[in-house]
Structure 1
Amino acid sequence: MKEYKEIQVALLGLGTVGLGVYKVLQMQKEEMQHKIGTEIKIKKILVRNLEKAAGKIEDASVLTNNWQEIVNDDKIQIVIEVMGGMEPARTYIMEAMQAGKQVVTANKDLIAADGKELMDQAKKSGCDLLFEAAVAGAIPIIRPLKQCLAGNHLSEIMGIVNGTTNFILTKMAQDGMEFEEALALATELGYAEADPTADIEGLDAGRKVAIMASIAFNSRVTFDDVYTEGITKITASDIRYAKEIGSVIKLLGVARNTPEGIEVRVHPMLIPERHPLASVNDSFNAVFVHGDAVDDAMFYGRGAGELPTASAVVGDIFDIARNLQYECCGRISCTCYKQLPIKAMDDICSKYFLRMLVENEPGVLAAVTAVFGDRKVSIEQIIQKKKIGELAEIVVITEKVKERHVKDSLKAFEEMTAVKKVSSVIRVYGE
């Protein structure tokens, strides 16, 4: 065992997460020796604007805008990337590992797209590349999937992995808000970015699902493999109908390992009120895992924010600090040793909730059900409760059917004069 009085690190970025990491390391200063047998010292912080960053921390002498001062410093052993984005973050991480430095990152965009190349370099360099904070903020999920649950064949991961959309849907359900009103509140409270596209269109969750699926099923899944659909079309009416049938609507990331291939998708879904994920509200996240030995397990907590995300980053830093002292860095490398196919979205089976406006005349319901029947879509339930002007609003809930057959039905409805509008199409959770 090597004994270190201190381990020197460099922090790339001093935004929300970077400042959180700085604060948590300060908060842990007195206990580091007891927890990891050494002290973590921030030697350099890479920023774009030195003057702006100087007002955020106690000792501005650690600030630099020159990457070479970090990568060429042999005393810096760990590089912590919390800049975000693809470049220059990707170049910095690759160059850090090529220089023999260990790396911690919170960069889901990068891991979801280029995880294989990064992990290959980590293995080649004998380095740790840890990214617990890339998926669900403070919630430990990467390490459990790679280590604690390694004795399982995992078949399903399903979760709420975006706090912004969960906050919006919670406000719509609890306060009767429409989507735009709830989004405005989320922006005002700081849950949503000025440009919320990545959150509300499901892109952020899609990247996280790609990462979790790769690890859980030991086969490479990239963001491009993930079907993504956001919550912008969800209305207060959909929320009310869901409640009437004992369900709630959540934006879920779903990954399943099936005999036909891996299903990876993000979309709104009706789930029963009794399901554990149904009670996960506001900006909280939760990940539900099923394995052959563990059966069901759920991980719950804060999915984003300055200190929750920093908690995961610092956990990785501490892990690497222990590895450095026992000279065992790089012991857990890429776990994607399989090459499983990705299942086409058209072949995935789900139940569906469809809300439609139709002419309020005899025979229309029979015509609608005939369209479904001709296209192999079985109906579980039809609800007709109200009129909108001269039109009737109906809700159809199907049995479990293939996506392609629902699409075929929707095309047929476009040509029917009696069907004026298909207002909503939302998948329904089913075993």
Structure 2
Amino acid sequence: MQVINIGVLGLGTVGSGVVRILRDHQNKISSITGRKLVIKTVVVHDLAKKRNVDLAGINVTDKIDDLINDKDIQIVVEVMGTVTTAKEYIERLLNAGKHIITANKDLIATYGSELAELAGKNNCDLFYEASVAGGIPILRTIVNSFAADRIVEVKGIVNGTTNYIMTQMSQNHVEYQKALQSAQELGFAEPDPTNDVEGIDAAYKMIILTRFAFGMNVTLDDIEVEGISNVDLEDIKQAKELGYNVKLVGIAKLINDRIKVSVGPVLIPEDQPLAAVQNENNAVLVTGAAVGETMFYGPGAGELPTANSVLSDIIAVTKDIVLGTTGSRFNDFSREGKQALATEVVYPYYISLRVKDRPGQMLKITEVMTSVKASFHLILQTELDDDYARVVMTTHKMSEAQLTEILGAVAGLEGIDVIASYKVLPD
């Protein structure tokens, strides 16, 4: 049986998983591809570091040139992370004729189109299924299974760290900092969790999903991003009483053939599928004009789930090599995209306020709502302390532009402060 040699760039959690799965499932993979897949060389940063995976027969080096200059290596898996260095290495590898598989969402979200262009020029494959939602095969599903449909919305929980934290806050009523600490102790959150908890990681994944689902390129600057670090436990409890779970959700939606992409805390009705996604799990809902709403659920991170997605890409590249069809783009769908206007983006909203307890305050809030032609769905008032009350209101559907006006006007009122404002997914 012919051998296809593979190089691996990075041997952290995912890299180790790739080595382990390829060894354990060698026979099955060979029967599917008709080729024997062998990891020949692994490039690591620290040669002295102890590894918890069997590297017998594998050349371990700290020199990228050992991959670039080895003509026997046809496929390289990049799981080292970073953006600048990874981009430089992948460009050199593509120019050397190597097919690339990466799990690097930051890189693909930022430079994916540029790297895909370079891959095409060198007749190389560039696949990155593992860059979004870990073990969920969402990208290839969108490309293949939705090819004949018109996708109108993609939304989901695409960051396991924030979902774990929000689950702990909701189910165990723990404050944000304690829930974050628990996530870090279990390895779900990095020592510096900024990219996760501020919504940046989810935003990168939504850039990639938007590209696949709608053929439109958006950047981080085009996305409305809000994290979970300022979510108040009292708002989570209040939402629960109203029949909602609060989750960090990414939403990419076509509105009048324009695109709106956002990431932020959202109230989800408890009877909706996304509301039941707990802890570190991910879920993506794809809504097609023909098929309606479909949900894809599974582990969003971890050694073996993510490595499994990498292996699916390795098998896809191997099949292309055997058939002589390398060099095709992972996603060929492309069209011009315009940003939806703030007047077109319409949701119900949840707004909580800190209101000084004195006569006339509710009248001021009502006057603000009336002035922008927005209406309440319900209003609740509870005591916050001796001097302040907490006022929670949900609205009927209104535009993003109206919300901006309301928040601006309320901010100008004496004795009234905005605690939070979140979208409410409709029933």
Q: Give how far 1:355 is off.
A: 1.1
Q: Which of the residues 412, 415, 419 maps onto 1:423?
A: 419
Matched, 1:198 2:200: no
- Report the equivalent of 1:147: 144
Matched, 1:221 2:229: no
Mind listing any 5+ residue stretches in structure 2 that lack a counterpart? none
Partner of 2:393: 396
Secondary structure at the counterpart of residue 231 of structure 1: coil
* Counterpart-to-counterpart distance in 2, 1:384 and 1:374: 22
Aligned partner of 1:175: which letter?
Answer: N
Q: Which residue of 1 aligns with 2:121?
A: 124
Deviation at 1:332, TM superposition (A): 4.1
2:376 matched residue in structure 1: 379
Deviation, 1:371, is: 1.1
Tell me if structure 1 keeps the 8 A contact 2:127–2:330: no
Given residue 312 of structure 2, which amino acid in structure 1 is its aligned partner? G
Q: 1:407–1:256: structure 2 CA closer, same or farther, 3 Å change rule?
A: same
- SS of the equivalent of 2:348 reads strand
The answer to whether the 8 Å contact 1:54/1:60 transfers is no
The percentage of counterpart residues that share the same residue type is: 39
The 5 A counterparts of 1:44-63 are 44-52=41-49, 56-59=53-56, 62-63=59-60
Aligned-pair distance for 1:368?
0.8
TM-score by length of 2: 0.96
Gaps of 5+ in 1: none
Contact 2:211 2:334 (C-alpha < 8 Å) held by counterparts: no
Matching of residue 405 in structure 1 with residue 402 in structure 2: yes
Partner SS for 1:26: helix
Q: Which moved more, 1:341-350 or 1:44-53?
A: 341-350
Contact 2:236–2:246 (8 Å) recurs in 1: yes
Say which SS state the counterpart of residue 156 (structure 1) adopts. strand
2:197–2:229 Cα contact (<8 Å) kept: yes
CA separation of 1:41/1:387 partners in 2, compared to 1, >3 Å: closer, same or farther? closer
RMSD of the alignment, in Å? 1.7
Is residue 2:83 matched to residue 1:86?
Answer: yes
Question: Retained in 2: the 8 A contact 1:227–1:345?
Answer: no
Quote the residue 2:74 is aligned against. 77
The CA deviation string for residues 213-258 of structure 1, in whole angstroms up to 9 with x for no partner, is 0110012223332221100111210111111111000000000122
Question: With structure 1 as the length reference, what TM-score do the two structures score?
Answer: 0.95
Distance in 1 between the 2:167 and 2:369 partners?
A: 32
d(CA) in 2 for partners of 1:414, 1:178: 26
Q: Work out whether residues 143 and 331 of structure 2, in 8 Å CA contact, stay in contact via their aligned partners in 1.
A: no
Q: 2:202 aligns to what SS in structure 1?
A: helix
- Which of 344, 348, 351 in structure 1 is aligned with 2:345? 348
Residues 119, 334 of structure 1: 8 Å contact kept:
no
Deviates more, 1:111-120 or 1:199-208: 111-120
The number of equivalent residue pairs is 427
8 Å contact kept, 2:269–2:426: no
Are 1:315 and 2:316 an aligned pair?
A: no
Structure 1 residues 398 and 219 mapped into 2: Cα distance closer, same or farther (>3 Å)?
Answer: same
Indicate if the aligned counterparts of 2:30 and 2:37 stay in contact, CA closer than 8 A: no
Paired AA for residue 16 in structure 1: T
C-alpha separation between the residues in 2 aligned to 1:94 and 1:116?
Answer: 13
* Runs (4+) off by over 4 Å: 53-56, 344-347
- The answer to whether the 8 A contact 1:122-1:333 is kept is no
Distance 1:18 1:346 in 2: 46
Q: Would the alpha carbon gap of residues 179 and 222 (structure 1) be closer, same or farther in structure 2, given more than 3 Å must change?
A: same
Structure 1 residues 53 and 66: CA distance shift in structure 2, 3 A: farther
1:183 is aligned to 2:217: no
Alignment of 1:245-324 (within 5 A): 245-259=242-256, 261-324=258-321
Letter of the 2:135 counterpart: A
The Cα of 1:389 is off from its aligned counterpart by 1.2
